Amino acid sequence: MSQPTADVGLIGLAVMGQNLILNMNDHDFVVCAYNRTTSKVDHFLENEAKGTKVIGAHSVEEFCSKLKRPRKIVILVKAGSAVDNFIEQLVPHLEQGDIIVDGGNSHFPDTIRRCEDLEKKGILFVGSGVSGGEEGARYGPSLMPGGNPKAWEHIKPIFQAIAAKAPDGAPCCDWVGETGSGHYVKMVHNGIEYGDMQLICEVYQIMKEGLGLSEDEMACVFEDWNNGDLDSFLIEITRDILKFKDTDGKPLVEKIRDTAGQKGTGKWTGIDSLDRGIPTTLIGEAVYSRCLSSLKDERVRASKILAGPKDAKYNGDKKQFLDQLGQALYAAKIVSYAQGFMLMRQAAKDYGWKLNYAGIALMWRGGCIIRSVFLGKIKDAYNNNPQLENLLFDPFFQEAIAKAQDGWRHVISQAVVLGIPTPALSTALNFYDGLRHEKLPANLLQAQRDYFGAHTYELLDNPGKAVHTNWTGRGGDVSASTYMA
Ligand code: 2AM
């Protein structure tokens, strides 16, 4: 048999897979392509990959035989059983130390399981978040690889070469951590993306309904914001969307049915945060907002019968209000990222991952949908203090919120008066105010629980000791651990 010639193999020739191959080829790696439907291999070699160094295979065995050792195999197929099927087909043709990277949208518990199963067989498994869509895959995605750490030195040159580059030239790809951490971080990234998008949508609704701005006027505001602290891909595309006219000269965005779709990664983040007991409230509200949007028919009926405030127009100084709106957006965004990093920190504790938070911010700095200047500040915060307990404790962000909070509070109070929904902007403020309260009313809550369920409480001056009170003077004073209320 001839000598293996490919530096890396890729399975799955949908657009993402094809583009990633072409990207690797641009960086002088020889790639071997394979796909379940093998006719797609030939089609790819004769069309998109014509004139490149890409080679193909028509069976898993042939594919494995063409890869240099240790083999580096990237799987980019539909998440779920297709990934397991391919792993099963590959393993008999692999040797100790060979590497399988799942670059699909796998749910992290699957990645943890696959990593552990394959480690027993001597195969190094990596689950890598890939963000940036088709364009990113072709010209520079954000890559978030995590799994068996022994794989990193082998895949690093390829991954960092093809990844997006931050403005300072640093690749938007670094080692995330152990087992399922790469896919976990990608999941949180998607949740944060939901939050960023929802925040922008809320300020759009305030500008439209509350201030009565036209789409072109709003585009100018987004343009301004994009030249400052809010500089980001999502603000930039929002500006362009608002400017975009349909063939009749009217803004296309206003003709789009207001029901949001979702593929589920935001929901995964929300569910995971509930499981872990971390209040990522902004992502939760972003998911619920999409749910509420899709109840269009019910909302149409509700709009005709449910009362709201009489006047829905803001009467104050519009220019000043727009500044405050920018402050509200910025402050809420800081809170959202703080919540996302709190969640990752808890998951790292739960799974024993050593996550590199500055590296994560850097990986999101370019290539992906949430890329922004702001992520550079988060990277700085974790570089300055890798043990940072909460992003909001970083001096830069402390001060940023301190400066923005008056505007933020004004915007939310006005939105409430005008009856304009601001679930994400408001939950961020509620979280912020909750976090900065040394004392919350959970003392009363504990008393209630003890009253009706004998669940016991602790005293401020004696934490750790369970106390039960016979609140009514009736019944016994046994606690819930001894009887079911
Ligand atoms: P196909 O071209 O043979 O359909 C995106 O759908 C990619 O995932 C495609 O490369 C597709 O292969 C692959 N894929 C989807 N379901 C699969 C399965 N059950 N087994 C193997 N590959 C699958």
pLDDT string in tens for the chain (485-residue length): 578 899 999 999 999 999 999 999 999 999 999 999 999 999 999 999 999 999 999 999 999 999 999 999 999 999 999 999 999 999 999 999 999 999 999 999 999 999 999 999 999 999 999 999 999 999 999 999 999 999 999 999 999 999 999 999 999 999 999 999 999 999 999 999 999 999 999 999 999 999 999 999 999 999 999 999 999 999 999 999 999 999 999 999 999 999 998 888 899 999 999 999 999 999 999 999 999 999 999 999 999 999 999 877 999 999 999 999 999 999 999 999 999 999 999 999 999 999 999 999 999 999 999 999 999 999 999 999 999 999 999 999 999 999 999 999 999 999 999 999 999 999 999 999 999 999 999 999 999 999 999 999 999 999 999 999 999 988 665 665 544 44
Distances (CA, A) of 290 to 158, 352, 417: 37, 33, 23
Residue 39 in contact with ligand 1 by CB distance below 6 A: no
Q: For residue 219, give both structure tokens.
A: 């585009």
From the list 297, 287, 282, the residue with the least C-alpha distance to 261 is: 287
How far is the C-alpha of 118 from the C-alpha of 102, rounded, in Å?
12
| 186 catalytically annotated | yes
φ, ψ dihedrals at 370, nearest 5° = -90, 10
| 62 catalytically annotated | no
How far is the C-alpha of 335 from the C-alpha of 12, rounded, in Å?
38
The predicted model scores a pTM of 0.95
3-state secondary structure (DSSP) of residue 325: helix
How far is the C-alpha of 399 from the C-alpha of 426, rounded, in Å?
20
Q: Annotated catalytic residue: which of 178, 193, 202, 215?
A: 193
Residue 35 in contact with ligand 1 by CB distance below 6 A: yes
φ, ψ dihedrals at 147, nearest 5° = 150, -135
How far is the C-alpha of 444 from the C-alpha of 480, rounded, in Å?
18
How far is the C-alpha of 333 from the C-alpha of 37, rounded, in Å?
44
How far is the C-alpha of 22 from the C-alpha of 33, rounded, in Å?
11
From the list 144, 12, 132, the residue with the least C-alpha distance to 78 is: 12
Pocket residue to mutate for ligand 1, from 74, 78, 81, 84, most atoms within 8 A of Cβ: 78
From the list 214, 223, 155, 226, the residue with the least C-alpha distance to 9 is: 155
CA atoms within 13 A on the CB side of 167: 8
Q: Annotated catalytic residue: which of 40, 186, 267, 379?
A: 186
How far is the C-alpha of 348 from the C-alpha of 184, rounded, in Å?
10
